[in-house]
A and B are shown apart, each in its own frame.
Chain A
Amino acid sequence: MQKKILISGNEAMGEAAICAGCRFYAGYPITPQNELTAYMAAELPKRGGIFIQSESEVSAINMIFGASACGARTMTSSSSPGISLKQEGISYLSGAHLPAVVINVMRAGPGLGNIWPAQGDYFQATKGGGHGDYRMIVLAPASIQESFDLTKKAFELADRHRIVAMVLSDGMLGQMMETLTFDPDEPPPGLVAKPWALTGADGRPANVTRSLFMARDAVEKNNLLLQKKYRRIESREVRCEKLLLDDAKLAVVAYGTMSRIARGAVEALRRRGVKAGLLRPVTLWPFPKKEVAEVSRRVKKILVVEMSYGQMVEDVRLAADPGAQVGFYGRAGGGVPTERQIIREAMKLIVAAKGRRRG
C-alpha cells in the first residue's frame, strides 16, 4: 500500500535500498551521511538483511565485493573522504563485473574539508576515481523522492549491467526532510538470475570472481568486454530533465541540489522576461551529451552552475555545439550559489553576448 511520510534524504536512500532487496550493507561513520548507516542498522536486520559497521571504508567496500560475488544485492554509503578510500574496491568490483550500489553524500573538500554540501566529487564519480579503465553509472537526485527512486533504480541498473551504480547526493539533500511517497510492499525491481555467483560448485563447474588475468591479451579482452558494456549503457540509460527549454534563449545546466536553486533562478528570469530554461542531467554518467548538443544548437548561451569550481562544465563544453557560448559559475567549500548570483551570472552572459554581436 502507498505510504506518504516525512523523511530525510539519507534515510530515504536507506529505505529505498531495503525496498530494492538490498541484503547486505556495510558502512563506516562519516558526516553528513550517518543517518543512512543508522537507518540500515535499525531496519535491515529486521527485514532479512545483514548490517555490519566495518572497521574502515576500505573494509566496507570489500565486504560489498564479497556480498556481490555471492549474488546478493548490496550497498555501502559514505561521504567524500570516505569515498576516496573506497576507490580501490570500486575498481576491483568494476574489473570483476560485480554489481553494487555506492552512495556518496558529498561534502566539501579537498582533504578533510568540512561537512557542508558540495559537488566536488563529479570528476571522481564520472571519470573513474580508481585505477584502470572503468565507469560507474552515476545518478544525481534533486529531491528526497528522487533520492528514494534513484537509489532503487540504482540496484536495478547495477544488476542489469553488472556494474557499480553510484547515487551522488550531497550534504544538503542528505540532511533535509521532504515528503516521500512509496509502497514498501512492492517487490524489488528487476531481479535477475546470477549464474556466475559464488554459491558453492554444486552440480556445476566452479565459479571464479576475478579481475586478474596474467596473460596480456586476457586483460585486454576483459577491457573490451567492459567497453562494450559501457557503450551499451551510454545508448540506453541516459536520463535528464528539461524545463522551459522549448522557446529558451539561455539554458542553465545544473544537477542535484544546485538544480533546485537553478530552477528558482530560471523562473525568476522568466518573470523578468528572459527566456531561460533548465537542463538537469539525472545521469552524470552516462552524460546526456545528445541533449546538451541539441539544446546548445537552439539556445546558443549556456550557463553551468555547480557547487564546485567547474567539473561538469567540462562535459557540457565537450558536448555543446561549437557555436554556443558556455559560461560557468560555481562555489565550493561549503558555499552554495544563490538564486541572485545565478541570475546575475545569467544576465552577464546575455549582455556579453549582445555586446559581442554589436561589436
Chain B
Amino acid sequence: MGRSFGRPKALRDVVTHYCPGCGHGILHRLVAEIIDELGIQSRTIAVAPVGCAVNAYDYWGVDCSEAAHGRALAVATAMKRLQPDKVVFTYQGDGDLAAIGTAETIHAANRGENLTVIFVNNAVYGMTGGQMAPTTLAGQKTSTTPEGRQVRREGYPIKISEMLALLDGVYSVERVSLNGPKEILDARRAVRQAFVNQMEGKGFSLVEVLSMCPTYWSKTPQESMKWIAEEMMQVFKPGKLK
C-alpha cells in the first residue's frame, strides 16, 4: 500500500516548542501543506512575529525573517516591494498585530500591499505568560485581568478584522477557526486562498484564525475547542468579512 499521509516538505522534521493542544502546530502544518501544494517553497519568504510563533523559522523550510514586536508588516512591505516575484507572508498573534503593531497593520492594509497575513487570535499573550490581549473577551481572566476583563476599564475585545475590512486598500478578510476537523479544513481553504490572492496580484489578504491556548485559558484541549465555539465565536464571528 502506498503512503497516503506524511509530513509536508515545507515543514521541518523537528519537535516544536508549542504546548499540548496549542493551535500553532495545526496552523503551521496547514501553511506548510499549502506551500507544498502551490509549489512555492523556493520563492516564499515568511516573517515571524514576536510572540509564541517567533521560532516559526525553525519549523518552516523557507527563507524567514524575524520582525520586532508588531513590525512584521513593515518588514514584509519592503520585502514584497523589492521582490514582487516572491510570495511573502506574515504570521502574527493578536498582541503583535492588533496591539503594538496596530499602526503597521492598518497602514500596510491601507496601502494595499500584496501580502498574505495569517493572524492568530487566541485572546491572550502566550509567550509572556498569559496577559490580557487586545482580543481578550469580556470577563476573561488573565494574569493582568485577575478578576476578568472589565470592558469599562480595559475596553472591548478589538475586532481588527472588521476594521480592516472597511479599508479600500484591502482585498480580502476572512475569519476562520481551528476548533474541529471541519473548521480546520475551512481554515486551510481560506489560508490557501490568501496565498493564491497574492500570487494573482490581488492585494492585501488577511485570515484571522481563532486558535486554542489551553495553557493560559486553564482548560483542557477539548474544553478549549468548546470555548472557541461557545464564547469566542460569539464575539469574533467566523466568515468572510470582505
Q: Say yes or no: A50 contacts B82, CB within 8 Å.
A: yes
Chain A residues with CB under 8 Å of B44's CB are 200
Q: Closest Cβ of chain A: how far from B80's Cβ, in Å?
A: 9
Q: Say yes or no: B65 contacts A92, CB within 8 Å.
A: no
Q: Say yes or no: B81 contacts A69, CB within 8 Å.
A: no
Q: Say yes or no: A69 contacts B75, CB within 8 Å.
A: yes
Q: Name the prevailing secondary structure of the B interface residues.
A: helix
User: Is B189 interfacial (CB-CB < 8 Å)?
Assistant: no
Q: Say yes or no: A214 contacts B55, CB within 8 Å.
A: yes
Chain B residues with CB under 8 Å of A290's CB are none
Residue of B45, B54, B55 touching A198 (CB-CB under 8 A) = B45
Q: Say yes or no: B66 contacts A26, CB within 8 Å.
A: no
Those of B72-88 within 8 Å (CB) of chain A: 74-79, 81-83, 86
Q: A23-B82, A66-B79 are in contact. Are A209 and B66 (CB under 8 A)?
A: yes
User: Is A319 interfacial (CB-CB < 8 Å)?
Assistant: no
Residue of A23, A66, A203, A208 touching B74 (CB-CB under 8 A) = A66
Residue of A58, A207, A212 touching B66 (CB-CB under 8 A) = A212
Q: Say yes or no: A64 contacts B78, CB within 8 Å.
A: yes
CA–CA, A63 to B107, complex, Å? 12
**Chain B, Cβ-Cβ closest to A59:** B74
Q: Say yes or no: B68 contacts A88, CB within 8 Å.
A: yes
A-contact 0/1 string along B26-68, CB 8 Å cutoff: 0000000000000001111101000000110100111111111
Q: Say yes or no: A210 contacts B57, CB within 8 Å.
A: yes
CA–CA, A203 to B43, complex, Å? 10
Chain A residues with CB under 8 Å of B107's CB are 54-55, 59
Residues of B within 8 A of A (CB): 41-45, 47, 54-55, 57, 60-68, 71, 74-79, 81-83, 86, 103-104, 106-107
24 pairs across A/B with beta carbons < 8 Å?
Answer: A54-B74, A55-B104, A58-B71, A59-B104, A62-B68, A62-B71, A62-B75, A62-B104, A63-B77, A65-B67, A66-B67, A66-B74, A66-B77, A66-B79, A69-B65, A69-B79, A92-B66, A96-B66, A198-B45, A206-B61, A208-B64, A208-B66, A210-B66, A212-B55
